């Protein structure tokens, strides 16, 4: 049963997103971690003006990855996607910037790196459509959902360094 605290924190996060509208969620995926690109990718992200609100180095369980990618359950690539995303550690982060979702997707590039623009993270570091180095939320709503999926509000920090939980 969901507690009062859960709903309070959820409403607080919705309020935060509504006030700012400027949150996105990212993962540096197992391929990019394995290939040693964490530092370079984080530098691209911060150089582009994104502030890190929450961040962790972790490895997703099959159960967690299956839940996260539930929306793709019927896709032919689903099983291999879960296998890939649980094959090693990831860096998960909530990022803040004006127009975060759209600007981050521009920085990331297209799902298939062959079609990605020069200078994008996927053009530089992705190796295939599946092993495409980074994830970026596709809407404000999903940014909130995905950020909350990976982080408790006690792990979110505002620009003054204050815990938001």
Tell me, letter by letter, the H, E, C secondary structure of 76-113. Answer: CCHHHHHHHHCCCCEEEEEEECCCHHHHHHHHHCCCCH
Looking at residue 117, what DSSP letter applies? Answer: P
Which among 146, 137, 140 has a CA at the least distance from the CA of 16? 140
Told to judge if 135 belongs to the known catalytic residues of this protein, a careful annotator would answer: yes
Q: Smallest distance from the beta carbon of 27 to ligand CMP, in angstroms?
A: 7
From residue 70 to residue 89, the character string flagging contacts with ligand CMP as x (rule: CB under 6 A) and all else as - is --x----x---x--------
Applying CB under 6 A, does 132 fall inside the site for ligand CMP? Answer: yes
Among 20, 87, 129, 142, binds ligand CMP (CB under 6 A): 129
Only segment of 31-39, 87-95, 128-136, 152-160 that touches ligand CMP (CB under 6 A): 128-136
Cα dihedral across residues 103, 97, 122, 85: positive or negative: negative
Among 55, 130, 142, 155, binds ligand CMP (CB under 6 A): 130
Only segment of 7-15, 46-54, 91-99, 124-132 that touches ligand CMP (CB under 6 A): 124-132
CA angle, residues 80, 36, 97, in degrees to nearest 5: 85
Nearer to ligand CMP, 46 or 111 (CB): 111
Looking at residue 35, what DSSP letter applies? Answer: T
Applying CB under 6 A, does 127 fall inside the site for ligand CMP? Answer: no
CA distances to 62, 91, 128 from 35, in Å? 22, 13, 14
Contact residues toward ligand CMP (CB under 6 A) are: 72, 77, 81, 111, 129-130, 132, 135
């Amino acid at each position: 049963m969901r507690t009062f605290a859960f709903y309070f924190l959820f409403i607080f996060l919705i309020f935060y997103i509504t006030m700012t509208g400027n949150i996105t969620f990212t993962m540096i995926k197992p391929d990019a971690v394995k290939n040693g690109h964490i530092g370079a990718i984080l530098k691209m992200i911060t150089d582009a003006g994104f502030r890190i609100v929450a961040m962790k180095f972790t490895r997703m369980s099959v159960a967690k990855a299956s839940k996260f990618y539930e929306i793709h359950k019927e896709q032919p690539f689903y099983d291999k996607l879960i296998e890939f995303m649980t094959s090693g550690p990831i860096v998960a982060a909530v990022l803040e910037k004006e127009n975060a979702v759209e600007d981050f997707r521009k920085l990331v590039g297209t799902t298939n790196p062959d079609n990605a623009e020069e200078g994008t993270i996927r053009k530089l570091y992705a190796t295939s459509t599946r092993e495409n180095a980074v994830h970026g939320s596709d809407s404000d709503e999903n940014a909130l959902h995905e950020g909350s999926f990976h982080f408790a509000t006690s792990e979110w920090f505002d620009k003054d360094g204050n815990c938001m939980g």
